[in-house]
Chains A and B, each alone.
Chain A
Amino acid sequence: MIEKHYTIHNIVNFTIKSTTIPKRMAIEYANFETDHINRPDFTIEIGDFIPSNEDCSLIDHTYFIKKGYFYCKDSYKFGKWAVEVNGLESDELHLNISTNFIGLYAADMFICAYIIDFFIRYTLERKGYSVVHAASMSKDNHALLFPSQSGAGKTTTAVYLAEDGYDYLGDDFVILHKGQVFSYPTPLNVFSYNLNPVIRSGLPFQDRILLKIKSALYKITAGRIKIFTKMNPVDIPNFNVVENSNLDTIYLLSQGEKLEVTPANPDFVVNSLIINQKLESYPFLKYFIEYSYEFPNSDIARFWNTCEKNLKMNLEGDMQYYEARIPRHYTSEIFKKFQEVMECGN
């Protein structure tokens, strides 16, 4: 049994126990790995286990729930998993996860994305930090935040800005606390559509071929198999990953016909961030609503209200809010125009 420890800015500490740490999971959390932590906020054991389903309320023949406890089996596409959570709403959180071959091989897409990432965010929110689905880049300790739905250009914007000497905080998720952005450096998910020249030149020949194969596989299976190429921002030549920075300006990215940057109502942007948090929380959005049915007065039932409160608190201060519409084909010319708008102070 291997035991690996992880820390995120010493705010969240967790331990993963497993006979083998799947390769893609090791890559996913490589930048959080550490030799020693004082006390884990949660521990995760990966492997077959026997759930403690006695005295549980059973919903829809699927969800087993008792105070502080949740168990279910679930699946998506070819990935299957069983998850048991002990110690919900307490400081002794323990997870058991078992998964099939696909779930283990593509651990980043299944048990990381659907379970572990959620508990990192859950723990941060319980400690008053906000986690937002956004890219963030910084220059001279002034951070720009780019929240958006998937596919609106977060990673692309981050990569272009990195090339122009901006420091990297995150391209998918970042942490907000009292007007500051804390980095969340997980690997960039590179696929044929967001493979821009900067990234391509940094890829070894072998990876470029693999990327082509993955893209073909995606087309052949009509979208059933989608394997991203992982690139650790720390390893990309002109990427400078920083720990934290002061939040200055928020550009809500959305899809549009042509590039258009307009001042946005802060409430509109905050609403967008909250909705994004929820929609990025499947399958736990479902698991938590089933738990809330059983325990309507629990912390879990109030979890989304807590997130909303955190976000409003963490965004307090003198920030500027904009909405940036980005065309579907996000070329370097479009980025140049966007950057001009950003740098002339709008």
Chain B
Amino acid sequence: MWELNYNIHDLLTIKIRGNGFPDATKHLRYSYFQTDENIDNPDISLNIGPFVPSNEGATSIAHKYWVKDNYFYCKEKGSRGKWEIEIFGFETGKTVINFHGKNPGVKGLLFPTFMAQEFLIPFIEYKLARKNCYLIHGGAVCRDDIGYIFTGRPGVWKTSLIMDLLRTNEYQFLGDDRIILKEDGSILCFPTSLFLFDFTLANTKTEQRSMSNNLNLVYRILMNGTEQSPKNLIKKCLMEKIVFISRFTDQNVQIRKTTPNEGLQKIIVNNMAEYIESTKKSPVGQFFTYVNIYSLIYPDTDLISHHYRIKEQLSQLISSIPLHAITLPFRYDRSAFDIVVNHIDLNPQLNDI
């Protein structure tokens, strides 16, 4: 039995408990927020390991989901593993998640609790939004207290770009996958898997790690060399601009202005799309289904209207800052990076296209 405590910017507390198996990598994902203090009444508790569900009296749907007031349970199989999840406090109050499941193959061996820890993201997003803080799918860097958010769908070189910006030693880091946007227009950092990020930053040119990199990584994890050095990490800064990154099959770098309406839609859809998979693969990708199944029985749940609500809440903030869209080519290289850096340095006023 092990136990880890987390505090996210004094906004949210999380406790993760593991039972029944060792995991040398358990602390890696949210290491930045880890605290030695024992949290008594966490906003979210995640218990990893086998459990007996308390689904008596719940309505069964499609023979695999069980729903009752503020409660959800399911047991299913996807192409990347199987899982059994029970959630108390699904829509209100403190949330307790019991999670039993694993990824198949090497990933499951190396990071046995990864799938469970990843499942915290929608709950963190939802609970932060109730405090008018918005977990955005995107990374951010900062220079002289001025922050730039780089958002976009997965696989558009967001991480590579942010790593290259950090390599210039002129920028500070807030996150490469998610950041928290506050109502007052400031950005709070949300770095995940810092050890992996630092390792990749130090050892590879792009975000893709080679086989030898991965072997080296495994060696370091086994030797417990998992202390990260967030030397250029900053906790908070002001948001100056949001840059929407996309990747095109055959085009040169293009930069244009985005309208507030389009930008807002993209931010919302980008968050929603993370909870929808084409076919069943991972629990976090089934979250949209879970919320919809729950709302079959409880149609007025806040969970179902969450993204419409944050769209309204963010609209004023988004319309008050510059929104730029940059298309990167199929293959990311130095010249693409230079154009982006130039753009940030010169900070030009763009015309609508």
Q: Contact residues of A with B, CB < 8 Å?
A: 53-62, 64, 72, 74-77, 149-152, 223, 254-256, 267-268, 271-272, 275, 278-279, 282-283, 285-287, 289-290, 292-294, 296-297, 301, 328
Contacts and interface: CB of A to CB of B under 8 A. Distances in A.
A72 B249 CA distance: 14
Interface string B146-181: 000000011110000000000000000000000000
B276 A149 contact: no
Interface in B50-72: 59-63
B250 to A, nearest CB: 6
Interface stretch (B110-118, B221-229, B291-299): B291-299
A77 B77 CA distance: 11
Interface of B: 59-63, 77, 79, 153-156, 246-251, 261-262, 265-266, 269-270, 272-273, 276-280, 288-289, 292-293, 295-296, 299, 327, 330
A149 B289 CA distance: 12
Contacts of A62: 155
A293 B292 contact: no
B299 A53 contact: no
Nearest to A267: B299
5 contacts: A57-B327, A58-B247, A59-B153, A254-B59, A293-B273
A286 B280 CA distance: 11
Contacts of A292: 265, 269
A74 B262 CA distance: 28
A296 B79 contact: no
A96 B10 CA distance: 52
A255 B59 contact: yes
B278 A279 contact: no
A285 B279 CA distance: 10
Nearest to A59: B153
B298 to A, nearest CB: 10
Contact of A290 (B61, B79, B273, B288): B273
Nearest to B300: A271
B249 A55 contact: yes
Contact of A275 (B246, B261, B292): B292
* Closest CB pairs A-B (n = 5): A283-B278, A296-B265, A286-B278, A76-B279, A59-B153
B153 A56 contact: no
Contacts of A289: 269, 272-273, 276
A57 to B, nearest CB: 5
Given A267-B299, A285-B276, A293-B273, A60 B155 contact: yes
Contacts of A254: 59, 61
